[in-house]
Amino acid sequence: MEELLEQLLEECRSYTQNGHLASYIPELAKADPNDFGVYILNSDGKHACAGDFGKCFTIQSIIKPILLLLALMDNGVDAVRSRVGVEATGKPFDAINVTDQSLLSDHINPMVNMGAIALCNLVKGNDYNEKFNRLLSLTRTLACNPKIDINESVYHSEKQTGNKNRALAYMLKSYGMITDEVEDVLDLYFKACSISVNSKDLAYIGFALSNRGKIADGYKRIFSYDYAHYVNAILMTCGMYDGSGDFAINVGVPAKSGVGGGIMAIVPTRMGIGIYSPGLDDKGNSVAGIKLLERLSNALFLSIF
């Protein structure tokens, strides 16, 4: 497997130069566009890796499925569905004009910024510091890595430049879709996106979703099969922003990307995959990462379709 990963990494390396860094968050513009790594964790515990799989980057939107999972664990499916829908918007991840109609929960989904901000309001805790610590703890548990922590520089950069997310949050507030103080909700969201991970961490998180709630550390179950089904289904339809349709055809597995350059892919019952390459396409997805996943899917017959 490692020989295959090394081969595919080299075949796709030229694509690292085809994307652009997420310069609208100044700290993300400091990434090295040449970084490229992949890590795979199979359901039997065997793993393979290649390239810069240990390079750390911020999780960005890949926190959204974890945030959704925590909201489900805290509130159940019905409560989450009453606040955030499941249909793909067909709009960019940070879009404000998701619909021409009045804003309703059905008009947003958890994999776009507005839906994720709404989910922050559903996480349980006595205050927003406790809410974030619970989200960080769940991320560490899924990744089997107690050392995962926040990148303070990226957090402050996100907070200083996140005016579009503020607009989304205040719109949610105006429609009664969040009830807490907007800046408290946003602080959780900015911190969540600034959690630092590597490709191995993403593969382990994907492993837990692939194995329906069982983490790699001792195969302990930490969430229900039903919640894994819910999260994976939404990732299949919405996880790659408004490129999810093409991704379903060309790769065919649930996945989530982030503007930090990461991709977490889930092959149900088979493996979790983590990839890092910070050069992005116009939709906010890693160019080289998608190319590698396309070739890996074809080589190993990963598509669920």
| Domain boundaries along the sequence of the chain | 2-60+197-299, 63-193
pLDDT band for position 89 (50/70/90)? Answer: low
**295 membership: H or E segment, kind and range:** helix 287-300
Yes or no: say if 178 and 185 are a contact pair by the CB < 8 Å rule: yes
The model's pTM: 0.94
CB 93 within 8 A of CB 241: yes
What are the tens digits of pLDDT across the range 55-66? Answer: 999 999 999 999
- Homologous superfamily of the 2-60+197-299 domain (CATH): DD-peptidase/beta-lactamase superfamily (3.40.710.10)
pLDDT over 60 (residue 97)? no
Domains 2-60+197-299 and 63-193 share a fold: yes
Spacing of C-alpha 286 from chain mean position: 12
What pLDDT is stored for residue 87 in this prediction? 80
Q: If pLDDT is split at 50, 70 and 90, which confidence band does 105 have? A: low
pLDDT in tens, 213-223: 999 999 999 99
Q: Which residues are catalytic?
A: 61, 64, 189, 241, 259
Q: How far apart are CA 79 and CA 250, in angstroms?
A: 34
Q: What is the largest CA-CA distance in the chain?
A: 54
Cβ–Cβ under 8 Å, residues 149 and 196:
yes
- Angle between helical axes of 225-238 and 199-210 (0-180°, round to 10): 120
CATH of domain 63-193: 3.40.710.10
Q: Is the pLDDT of residue 8 over 80?
A: yes
Strands 57-58, 149-150: parallel, antiparallel or unpaired by DSSP? unpaired
